[in-house]
Structure 1
């Protein structure tokens, strides 16, 4: 099970998460998020990360020029789009990307996934009106498609206490956590990160 720790705001948290076994680290470039980082801070974090760890940049309906400015300064391996971005928008940067889908009750999950055929993965997150992510809320894991043939990343309210159950039900290829392993917004808790990764990789 691959694990992404998102909302990294400090180099020391990045190093800690990787040491504990995280496969990917996410940095948020959405100004309204309490976990948003500047380009300078993101570059500092990236410089501290060892090779073979995937660096992910999260954007929400960002101006394309903003994304390119970040890419000019920060060596991101993967882009994560959390808004209403079209497939054409996501593909214009020449980088692998994942598309987040907010699991609104009436969402046609399979149909929406099909609109992003080039996406490296689809991240399924909880829906709250007006909030593009980071709600700390879960959704019905039974709604995750089992036989889509796509790489599914499960997010939304995951924690050390529920991640094993979530994986057992949803059977994703990866899990993504932010608030569930924090001491405060943007500051990761080493014990929680360790417990989360351990629980995510326990066979259920």
Structure 2
């Protein structure tokens, strides 16, 4: 089965290359000051220029206003916008029209009633990111290393493609794919040795595990 992998929260050129060499489909850049993975627009531009042809470059923003998004889109060569805040379906549709870029909308899941939002957003977004809902009081809307009950999305399908996120690691992503039927997966903290610090060996191991080509999974000490 062809599984597409997104590695999010990249901050170093060598990790952009590691993502490409591992065979991931997407590289994610975070524009959210409270995140340890936050980039300036100029830093993201330089990283995006390191990405080889074929690696989709995704900008993750959180309730960003038009002026900030204009700056990002005009400066950074991007293939997709990821909206990870409380953006309404109307806002998603507006930004899709404004920038002419595919929009991925993140939706936090903790229990079955949360699934209703996925149906609503699937009508206006190009892709859905099905993530673990952040705990009450959390600073970050994602990248918290938390999983949700994968049975909630077991063999669920929506009108647009979706990607599984939340607490995935090289050790559990194969089981997550098996349990959910996800064809796309996203990871950030699960391939880090410290917050915001990616590990090239973990990136490779994650992609191998997700795509069924797993070898030895490195253990960080």
Please, what TM-score do these two structures have when normalized by structure 1? 0.94
* Consecutive unaligned residues in structure 1, runs of 5 or more: none
Alignment partners' CA distance in 2, 1:175 and 1:87: 23
Choose which of 168, 188, 191 in structure 1 pairs with 2:198: 188
TM-score (norm 2): 0.87
Post-superposition offset of 1:40: 0.8
Q: Deviations over 1:128-178 (max 9, x none)?
A: 224311110110001115233431200001000000000000111200000
Conserved in 1, the CA contact under 8 Å of 2:92 and 2:124? no
- Structure 1, residues 92-141: CA drift from partner, whole Å, max 9, x if none? 232111110111325331x3123221312111111222431111011000
Partner of 1:113: 118
Q: Structure 2 regions of 5+ residues with no counterpart?
A: 214-221
Aligned partners of 1:151, 1:30: CA distance in 2, in Å?
25
**What's 2:146 paired with?**
137
Contact 1:123–1:154, Cα closer than 8 Å, also in 2? yes
Preserved CA contact (<8 Å) 1:138 1:156 = yes
Say whether the 8 Å CA contact 1:13–1:187 is kept in structure 2: no
Q: Does 1:22 align with 2:24?
A: yes
Choose from 152, 158, 161 the match for 2:171: 161
Q: What number of residue pairs does the alignment pair up?
A: 203
Match of 1:5 among 4, 7, 12: 7
**Contact 1:151/1:172 (8 A) holds in 2:** no
Aligned with residue 60 of structure 2, among 45, 58, 61: 58
**Are positions 1:44 and 2:50 aligned together?**
no
CA distance in 2, matches of 1:65, 1:149: 31
- Most deviating of 191-200 and 140-149: 140-149
RMSD of equivalent CA atoms? 1.6
